[in-house]
Amino acid sequence: MEFKDNEAIYLQIAGYVSELILRGKWPPDSKIPSVRELAGDLQVNPNTVMRTYELLQGQEVLYNKRGIGFFVAQAAVQQVQAARRERFLSQELPEVFGTMLLLGIGLPEVQRRYEEFKTTQSLPAVS
């Protein structure tokens, strides 16, 4: 995983974990990699992964079985979708609208291209 400079690493890892959950790689009630295991895989400090897991636990995406590890919560997909949807609608979409306005792109063109996209694309796999 390559990390960007404009966002805290633990938040980027939270995005990565959330993506795995959304794609069904880590289904509800499944045990996820230990803090040390994921830290080794991503080549980050275990404290960074622990901070990520605690954040996602606070958002009710993960839960901890003391002495056993972290697991995906039953409603994790819904929790992640709701959080990402809110972020997209309140932060990312206004930026897209601003760019559309500057470039003179209207909603009919976006709608047409979105429909094309849905028929020709599948969600990319998470590595």
Are residues 16 and 50 part of one domain?
Answer: yes
Enter the pTM of the model: 0.80
Side-chain half-sphere of 76: how many Cα atoms within 13 Å?
30
Q: Is residue 3 part of a domain?
A: no
Are residues 68 and 86 part of one domain?
Answer: no
Least confident segment among 62-66, 73-77, 114-118:
114-118
High-pLDDT (> 90) share of the chain, %: 88
Are residues 41 and 16 part of one domain?
Answer: yes
Domain with residue 52: its CATH number is 1.10.10.10
> Residue 125's pLDDT is what?
54
Are residues 86 and 54 part of one domain?
Answer: no
Q: Distance between terminal CA atoms of the chain?
A: 8
Are residues 60 and 101 part of one domain?
Answer: no
Are residues 115 and 93 part of one domain?
Answer: yes
What does the mean pLDDT of the chain come to?
93
Query: Which residues on adjacent β-strands are paired with residue 70?
Result: 64
High-pLDDT (> 70) share of the chain, %: 95
Cβ neighbors of 41 (< 8 A, separation 6 or more) are: 33
Q: Is residue 103 part of a domain?
A: yes
Residue 105 lies in domain:
80-120
Q: How would DSSP label each residue in 8-77?
A: -HHHHHHHHHHHHHHTTSS-TT-B---HHHHHHHHTS-HHHHHHHHHHHHHTTSEEEETTTEEEE-TTHH
| SS3 state at 4 | coil
- How many domains is the chain partitioned into structurally? 2
Are residues 71 and 86 part of one domain?
Answer: no
User: Closest by alpha carbon to 70, among 52, 44, 95, 97?
Assistant: 52
Average pLDDT over residues 10-16: 96
Q: Is residue 125 part of a domain?
A: no
Are residues 84 and 71 part of one domain?
Answer: no
